[in-house]
Structure 1
Amino acid sequence: MRVGGTVVESCAMTAASYDNPHDTDPGLSVGRLEQYNAIIVLPRQPLPPAAAVEVSLTTDQGPVDWSFSTPVDVVEFGPGLRADPGDVALVAQQDSARQAAIAMAGQLFDHHPFGHAVTPYHQIVLCREDVFADCLAVTPVLSEGTALLFTEGGPTGMLPPEVEAEINRLRALAPAENVPIRVIGGANAISEGQVARLRELGATVERMSGAGRVETAIAIASSTLYQTPARVLLARDGDWADAITVGAFAAATTTPVLLNPTDSLHPAVAEWLAGIPGVEVVVLGGTGAISDTVVQQLRDRGHPVRRVSGPSRVETSVAIAEQVWGRTTLQIGDTVAMVDTFAPNGWQPTLLAAQLASRRPTVLLSGTGEGLHPAVSSYLDRAVTASTPGVLSGPTTAGLAGPLRGHIG
């Protein structure tokens, strides 16, 4: 047996040699083998999806050869969200970020068709829906067992009834566990009144915050340091496109995302990085995002620095796919997600799409309803070598379904 031209270990069984300790009726199996004069050929390891398989047998009736291709797996993100190879799934199509997050939580966490409940066993993360600042670096904590919801922002904001209802639904999926709720940002981002209400519901609530967005990112990064990271991602603090686009990789790998002003290394970032001397810093975006001055300041402190960027946020998303993910060629099981990093509130559906990467590797590429950017089309033409699932996140991406199918099918 050959898989992709490489010989793999396998065994062959006839009616005379059939042996399966898990077979509850071996007599029936042996009878069928005799009836059809058949041979069972089994690989030692499961065959990978989308693999070309060749089998050659020498029998007393002459040689037997045949070949086939294994199917490509459907990507299941949750009980209500699947992406078929070559096709496109739509998520976060609601105009309201709050409703889009609730809808996605319903797709990812619910009772599975087989009966068991898929629960947010790690945590529920609560972000304000109106300002991106505190949520810029939240992606490292968006693990497979995490549900992300948006709520009303500001120091006097109230917990919306529909968000409270969804929190109650999610917590009820795991009645034996007290699923913690992580509130992102200080009291000016998500009010103390909302925290008090969550505690009235019996939830364990923890704030992840700092004096500003830079310090909040550090608080989130510190919570992920179960072990020393191989690298740290650094994005500008005044714009969301680079930080949230790379967030898919951060969610998949629990890689810290730090924020920094454009022109000079922030003292809090320098102090935090001093605790992991020599760690590589991957700088996102060109010099207009993070200046060469910052890069040199990092190098002066002993950090190897690698810049990942393109002429625009579209090309930067392609650069992230190739240089951060390492996906010059997409692998079997990878997913492509299109997001609109030009829409005024495009950070919300982009953030929702990023959390999918903790379930299956999901590369985020930038586009708008006007069509695929030539840089994205070129990347897909060279990176997609087998039928690949696609996801469109956000209402302004719905028109990309046809063009995307043309590249991933």
Structure 2
Amino acid sequence: MKKELILACGLFLALPLGQGFAETSPVQAAEQRMAAFKQNGMMQNEMKASGFNEYEGAFYEEEPNDVMGKATFTEVDYSVQGSINNQAANNGKDVDYYKFSISEDANYLLYATMMNDQYNSNMKVRVMNASGQVVAQSTLEDFEDFTIVTVEASLAPGTYYIETTNSFSSSLEEDYSMDHMIFEELEQFQRISGNDRYATAVEISKEGFENGTAPIAVIATGSNFPDALSATPLAYRVGGPLLLTTPNTLPDTVKKELIRLGVEEVYLVGGKGAISDTVKTQLEKMKITVNRLSGADRFETSVKIADEIGAERGTVVVATGKTFADALSIAPIAAQMEMPILLTNKDSIPSSVSTFVKEWGVDETYVIGGTGAISDATAKKLPGMKRISGKDRYATNSQIIDRFIDEIDPFVTFVATGTNYPDALAGSALAAQYFSPLVLTDSNTANIATKTTIQKYMDSTAVYYIIGGEKALPQSAIDQLFE
């Protein structure tokens, strides 16, 4: 894996507790970390003398620390705040030392930046063992708007020292921030799957809410797609997983996941034909409040969901209600951009959809799919219409990702089969949390448009989440994308 991708992951992991993928992408995390450091920089001088500050989660430089024997104590997985003071008295070279220990073999990562990042290129950081031997030294990583000093090393158990200097000027006085951590190598390909579509959706939920809770969840049928196509933006809005159920009974795996997450409220998507009152009763017996969102047909159901989400941005997505691929391709992006997904016929707009568009003052519509899915005559009736389409579902999926690449982050990319909907549906909700694209691929032979998209963004991607088991999406199909 490329070091800059590990770095981006590290930047994300170093965010304050509770700030997750649903709120920021890894590169945005880096930018926010920089902004936060600069914003707080004026207060640092007053706080340095206090050593570790529990509220800030940081260790502050304690002078004098210009030799290893007087190194300021720190711990991995915390921030270190200090200042370079080059002056005539120290021959224009302030040296700061910090001391830490690790108890087992570990992959170590440090990244640092000066308060004024124009001095970063002259900042030098070295990691030394207890004997003073250098075991790793810094390199400079370039991002679009800033640079970061990084150190990466494989360390054995023991005590280590961080040496920090900056040769920019003999009269330099500037604050810096360092974060150092132990990290696990990310596997480039990670498959999320269960014994069936219901268990796969649960495994996706566990991935997205590994250590957290989700007071609200969305449940759709795993038996048919129409009612479920608009559910992803709703799951994103309520901050919960998108789980699947059979029409007549709630699977035990889903019950256990609801309990694990501490779910108190559920949105059932679809009418009684899609999810029976038996399922509703089972949920209520679990002391869960149930809200059913359904209409007379799939089109009105999509409107009911859209009403719950709202269209404050004035923008909606419109896709065919006859097939699933187009709606699922746009689902995680629609969620991230707070755009409800409305369904329509090929040659006419259902009255419920027209009413929603009018009442919410919609002024921009992304029509997904070609004229075979939604005719030009139909599309032109929608305000501010912009069509996104390709010659087939895979080309359309690729066009969507290209169109919105500036709004998403392919650092983590989700891949699901384009020949069935359940895995892609549940995966789209997690992709939305990660600000990630969802790539649909043929389970037998890779489409050229899909291969082009994967390879176009592969240098920006650290992890590929493969949604579904080998039967749904075999590894051979994944391998074709990288040939």
Sort the TM-score into its range (normalised by shorter chain).
Answer: 0.7 to 0.9
Report if aligned partners of 2:314, 2:362 keep a CA contact under 8 Å in 1. no
Match of 1:57 among 127, 143, 167: 167
Question: Is 2:271 aligned against 1:161?
Answer: no
Q: 1:340 to 1:27 in 2, by over 3 A?
A: closer
Q: Which residue of 2 aligns with 1:379?
A: 453
Residue in structure 2 matching 1:235, options 294, 319, 323 = 319
Partner of 1:274: 358
Map 1:6-405 → 2, pairs under 5 A: 20-24=48-52, 29-35=62-68, 38-39=94-95, 42-44=113-115, 51=143, 52-53=147-148, 57-59=167-169, 84=186, 87-91=188-192, 93-110=193-210, 112=211, 118-121=212-215, 123-143=216-236, 145-153=239-247, 157-171=248-262, 179-225=264-310, 228-298=312-382, 303-326=383-406, 331=409, 334-342=411-419, 346-370=420-444, 372-395=446-469, 396-399=472-475, 400-402=477-479
- Note closer, same or farther for the CA distance 1:59–1:273 as it changes in structure 2 (3 Å cut): closer
Cα deviation for residue 350 of structure 1 reads: 0.4
Are the aligned partners of 1:251 and 1:357 in contact in 2 as well (CA < 8 Å)?
no
Change in 2 beyond 3 A, CA 1:286/1:24: closer
Aligned partner of 2:131 in structure 1 is none
Residues 5-45 of structure 1: CA deviation (Å, up to 9, x unaligned): xxx998xxxxxx99724424999843432459754684238
Distance in 2, matches of 1:53 and 1:204, equals: 48
- Tell me how many residue pairs correspond in the alignment: 353
Provide the C-alpha distance between the structure 2 equivalents of 1:217 and 1:27, rounded to a whole number of angstroms: 54
Distance in 1 (alpha carbons) for counterparts of 2:209 and 2:452: 35
What amino acid is the match of 1:119?
T
8 Å contact kept, 1:128–1:151: yes
TM-score normalised to the size of structure 1? 0.75
User: In structure 2, how many angstroms separate the alpha carbons of the residues matched to 1:369 and 1:38?
Assistant: 60
Provide closer, same or farther for how the CA distance between residues 360 and 24 of structure 1 changes in structure 2, counting only shifts above 3 A.
closer
Distance change (3 Å), C-alpha of 1:368 and 1:219: same
Structure 1 gaps, min length 5? 1-7, 11-16, 64-69, 75-81, 113-117, 172-177
Kindly provide the amino acid, as one letter, of the partner of residue 101 in structure 1. A
Q: Is the 8 A contact 2:94 2:166 kept in 1?
A: no
Percent identity over paired residues:
21
Q: Is the 8 A contact 1:235 1:259 kept in 2?
A: yes
> Alpha carbons of 1:27 and 1:276: their partners in 2 closer, same or farther (altered >3 Å)?
closer
CA contact (8 A) 1:260 1:266 kept: yes
Going from structure 1 to structure 2, the CA distance change for 1:224 and 1:44 (only over 3 Å counts) comes to farther
Structure 2 residue matching 1:126: 3-state secondary structure: strand
1:182–1:385 CA distance, 2 compared to 1 (3 A):
same
Identify if the C-alpha distance between structure 1 residues 339 and 27 changes in structure 2 by more than 3 Å, giving closer, same or farther.
closer
Which protein, 1 or 2, shows the higher relative CO under an 8 Å CA cutoff with sep ≥ 6?
A: 1
User: What CA distance in whole angstroms lies between the structure 1 residues aligned with 2:322 and 2:446?
Assistant: 26
Counterpart residue identity of residue 167, structure 2: L
Deviations 1:284-318 (A, max 9, x none): 000001100101222xxxx1100000011111011
Cα contact 2:141–2:148 (8 A) shared by 1: no
Q: 1:160 to 1:311 in 2, by over 3 A?
A: same
Partner of 2:74: none
How much does 1:277 deviate?
A: 2.9
Gaps in structure 2 of 5+ consecutive residues:
1-34, 39-44, 54-58, 72-92, 97-111, 121-139, 150-164, 173-178
User: Which deviates more from structure 2 when the two are superposed, residues 365-374 or residues 233-242?
Assistant: 365-374
Label 1:337 to 1:27 Cα distance change in 2 as closer, same or farther (>3 A).
closer
Quote the Cα distance in structure 1 between the aligned partners of 2:170 and 2:396: 61
CA distance in 2, matches of 1:254, 1:21: 46
CA distance, structure 1, for counterparts of residue 336 and residue 208 of structure 2: 16
Matched residues in 2 for 1:385 and 1:394: separation? 24
Alignment partner of 2:366: what SS?
Answer: strand
CA distance change for structure 1 residues 119 and 59 in 2, over 3 Å: closer, same or farther?
A: same
| 1:23/1:183 CA distance change after superposition, 3 Å | same
| 1:14 aligned partner | none
Q: Is the 8 A contact 2:315 2:339 kept in 1?
A: yes
Deviations 1:53-105 (A, max 9, x none): 479733559x9xxxxxx99x99xxxxxxx993x712211x3351111122222
Task: Tell me the amino acid that sits aligned with residue 168 of structure 2.
Answer: T
Separation (CA, whole Å) in 1 of partners of 2:47 and 2:261:
46
- The answer to whether the 8 A contact 2:198-2:251 is kept is no
SS at match of 1:255: coil
CA offsets 1:117-165 (integer angstroms, 9 cap, x no match): x0013x1211111111110111111127312221111xxx133333333
Specify the SS of the correspondent of 1:383: helix
- 1:217/1:258 contact within 8 Å kept: yes
CA deviation after TM superposition for structure 1 residue 375, in Å: 1.6
Equivalent residue letter for 2:384? P
Distance 1:265 1:384 in 2: 39
Query: TM-score when scaled to structure 2?
Result: 0.64
Whether contact under 8 Å (2:414, 2:466) holds in the other structure is yes
Deviation of 1:386 after TM superposition, in Å, equals 3.5
- Kept after mapping to 2: 8 A contact 1:249/1:325: no
Distance in 2, Cα, partners of 1:354 & 1:161 = 23
> Aligned pair in 2 of structure 1 residues 96, 28: CA closer, same or farther (>3 Å)?
closer
Q: CA RMSD in A?
A: 3.8
Distance 1:387 1:365 in 2: 13
Separation of aligned partners in 1, 2:61 and 2:346:
72
> In the aligned structure 2, how far is the partner of 1:31 from the partner of 1:131?
69
- The residue type equivalent to 1:102 in the other structure is V
Query: For residue 436 of structure 2, what is the amino acid of its counterpart?
Result: T
**Distance between the aligned counterparts of 1:287 and 1:27, measured in 2?**
62
